[in-house]
Amino acid sequence: MTKKIIGLTGGIATGKTTVANYLADAYNLPILDADIYAREAVCVGSPILDAIATRYGKQILLPNGNLDRQKLGEVIFKNPEERTWIENLIHPYVRDRFQAEIKASTVETLVLVVPLLFEAGMTDLVTEIWVVWCSQRQQLARLMQRNHLTFEQAQARIHSQMPIADKAARADVVLDNSSTLEALLKQVDAALTKL
């Protein structure tokens, strides 16, 4: 059996989670999520969290010992070198988790949700790349509303990723999420029919 592995990516706040949830709910496809593995990588007691606390001090931790993601975000979204340092710790962990899950899976089609699929060099893990796209104006508005960010904070997060147009140019499937939810889900149905 040759596994079909969809690499679902896009920019921050373009609609990846919406598409992933639909693929899980409507098609019962297993979803492997890089964000979940990245959170696992920095769980209390992990060597990665220890390295982060050593580098930035205990103020990067919440009172319960968990990583203060907001504080870390303020550091890494203003400083590309620090972001690279963090990614070099977390990306190998995420890749290992994906590889183990793919190997263990007995299903024919899997979905890997990887916001930084291109940036992290994980395209080799998938057989097909789907990019969820919307305009930068929509992306900014959604991100500011969802994460309660200022315009500048939202822009910094968007600019920390590869431009969405570059991702779309390298995709097998581009899902346009600039219209209605119904229109987006119809595109997902059509893409799966072709698959």
Give the residue from 29, 67, 71 showing the smallest Cα distance to 48. 67
What is the predicted pLDDT for the residue at 93?
A: 97
- pLDDT-derived band at 9 (thresholds 50, 70, 90) equals very high
Is residue 13 pLDDT above 70, yes or no? yes
Percent of the chain predicted with pLDDT > 70:
99
Q: What's the pLDDT score for residue 62?
A: 96
**Long-range contacts of 24-30, Cβ-Cβ distance < 8 Å, separation of 24 or more:** 24/111, 26/185, 27/192, 29/107, 29/109, 29/110, 29/111, 30/105, 30/107, 30/110, 30/111
> Residue 1's pLDDT is what?
52
Taking the C-alpha atoms of residue 94 and residue 117, their distance in angstroms, rounded to an integer, is 11
- For the four alpha carbons of 73, 17, 167 and 2, in that order, the dihedral sign comes to positive
The answer to whether the pTM exceeds 0.85 is yes
Q: Is a pLDDT exceeding 60 seen at residue 49? A: yes
| Residue 188 to residue 148: CA distance in whole angstroms | 29
Q: CB–CB of 3/127 below 8 Å?
A: yes
Terminal-to-terminal C-alpha distance of the chain: 15
Please list, in sequence order, all residues whose beta carbon lies within 8 angstroms of the beta carbon of residue 36, skipping any fewer than 6 positions away. Answer: none
Average confidence score pLDDT of the chain: 94
pLDDT band at 160 (very low <50, low <70, confident <90, very high): confident
Give residues with Cβ within 8 angstroms of 89, minimum separation 6: 41, 48, 51, 52
pLDDT in tens, 86-145: 999 999 999 999 999 999 999 999 999 999 999 999 999 999 999 999 998 999 999 999
Burial of 10 (0-12, 13-18, 19+ CB in 10 A): buried
Top pLDDT among 195 and 83 is at 83
